[in-house]
Amino acid sequence: MMVVSGCSDFLMKENKSSVTAENFYTTQRGYESLINSCYTTLREVRQSPYMYSAGTDLFFGTHQDAPQGLTTYLSLTPGSPTVSDFFQTLYESIQVTNTAMHYQDKTVQFPQLESRVGEARYLRAYYYFLLVQMFGDVTLVKRMVTEPVTHFERTPASEIYQFIISELETALSEVPETQADHGRVTKRAVRHMLAKVYLTRGYEEYGEASDFENAASYADEAIGGEPLTVPYRDIFAYQNDVNSEVIMSIQYDQSSLINGGRHSWDYPWGPLIQAQFAGVSKKNILHPTEYLFTIYGQYDSRFEGTFLNVRTSPYVGWILDPENSPVQYYFPRTPEQLADTSAWRATDPANRSSTNIFPIGPHWWDGNNQESFPALRKYDRVQTQEINYTHDLFISRLGETYLVAAEAYFKMGDNATAAARINEVRRRAAMPGHESEMLINAGDVTVDFILDERARELAGEGFRWLDLKRTGKLMERTKQYNPQIKSLVQSGSDPFMGANGNYKILRPIPLSAISLDSGDYPQNPAYQK
């Protein structure tokens, strides 16, 4: 089992060919290795962005490699392989965390044991949180499976949420405020997750009256009075994966990628880049919508922090050697940028004299446009003869914590505090000298404004489908802003309509899970025959 952290003492590969689990996991070294394996499962669960980002108001499918069931919902069935793989991976990951929980009372005592148990508990809760949001009622397995089980029951979602909350609150008492190894679970990570769980449950019919209050409280505790000090574009800067903005991340390190293990979060957003010398490999599979390209105001620096408004030759030149990399394309969007293209060229004539300029317009969000549109830059990896670098994936960061708090306060009816939390995010996002133009008032706060703000702050980070599902806006906003889905609706087809008048708001339970069950394992209503 391999370790997920980039820290040298965290990266170990144990040869256990001559030992059994019973005598290995009962040692400190063995149990530490088991916990590290729990972290490794994060890479598998977040390997692909499609389950998190496809079929939303931010991105639409433009390539045959896109999983059509997830991008348009029409062909989303219990046999959809991406959904089946995701479901199976989550339960395989839960089995690893259950193994860690099984051996907690069997292993030797050591100073970090309580924390390690809490770390596994947090990861298990996170996986069930993904399952219940995606699939609704799911099977709750709390013990390590040591023999074949031929039948499972689906546990009501309300009970799954209660289990998640209970696990996280226990983990909060087990893990420390800080960890020596970056990437391990801390109290702040647990508080952030508790805030999201309470917030999400608060929207459900079985939610409790105190859910939004609890969400706001935990979010504020996670914030801890800390302002947003990391410039937005620096959060995702090359080799800056470890910064004060990051609360919890899935780590990637050059030494741990020798035998694979890279994520594919930079690959599907395009533009098409397949040249060997480019340093990256991309396809235009999930294309940004017009809504996403145009949601940023003229003084919002998050556009340039989210999208690459230049394309150099080679592509990774903007990262590795910007002063000596010719600019192939420039994508101006603000009035100032559009008015000063001549001045822009004159600033660096050696690299910009031959640049093709494509200003903001329908060309950007044309799905057939393969190359000349701003690339999503947040997770660009670098692959050259000298460098093998994959950017960490963030499970939680402080900018989102402020927005979780804002949404919770809004749902409590406290728009003034909600606006204050949002303004902290927008103040950091403002271009220098334009902070006042970015601030909002209490009357501006609505569910749609919060979703707009989450789009600006978190585009491409793997939260969007869950955001739309949580707020009950999945169908409304995709039909309005996703051109594929909008076209289907205009032609008289509702891609969300499933069996017996039920809508495809949940994912289908995979056919493989149902067919292997010896009993009657019920399917979600929209996918029943």
- Report residue 327 as tokens: 């600019």
- List CB contacts of 302: < 8 A, sequence separation 6 or more: 232, 296, 429, 456, 457
- Report residue 510 as tokens: 């995979």
Q: What's the start-to-end Cα distance of the chain, in Å?
A: 41
Q: What is the pTM of this model?
A: 0.94
How does DSSP classify residue 300? B
The domains of the chain are located at 1-175+473-529, 269-391
What CATH fold (topology level) applies to the domain 1-175+473-529?
Answer: 1.25.40
- Could you give the CA distance from residue 332 to residue 310 in angstroms, rounded to a whole number? 9
- Report residue 210 as tokens: 């105190």
Residue 182 has pLDDT above 60, yes or no: yes
List, for residues 323-346, the tens digit of each pLDDT value.
Answer: 999 999 999 999 999 999 999 999
The mean pLDDT of 471-483, rounded to a whole number, is 98
List, for residues 196-224, the tens digit of each pLDDT value.
Answer: 999 999 999 999 999 999 999 999 999 99
Which range has the worst mean pLDDT, 196-205, 335-344, 380-389, 463-472?
A: 380-389
Q: Are 427 and 296 in contact (CB under 8 A)?
A: no
* Measured CA distances, 215 to 123, 192, 396, 408 (Å): 19, 9, 15, 6
Q: Are 310 and 327 in contact (CB under 8 A)?
A: yes
Q: What is the pLDDT, as a whole number, of residue 9?
A: 40
- Could you give the CA distance from residue 502 to residue 308 in angstroms, rounded to a whole number? 41
Which pLDDT band, with edges at 50, 70 and 90, does 48 fall under? confident
List, for residues 72-105, the tens digit of each pLDDT value.
Answer: 999 999 999 999 999 999 999 999 999 999 999 9
CA-closest candidate to residue 31, choices 12, 47, 6: 12
Residue 62 has a CB neighbour count (10 Å cut-off) of: 22
Q: Are 142 and 98 in contact (CB under 8 A)?
A: yes
- Could you give the CA distance from residue 195 to residue 219 in angstroms, rounded to a whole number? 5
The mean pLDDT of 270-278, rounded to a whole number, is 90
- List CB contacts of 123: < 8 A, sequence separation 6 or more: 38, 39, 41, 42, 93, 97, 185
- Could you give the CA distance from residue 328 to residue 353 in angstroms, rounded to a whole number? 10
Q: What is the pLDDT, as a whole number, of residue 20?
A: 80
Q: Are 49 and 282 in contact (CB under 8 A)?
A: no
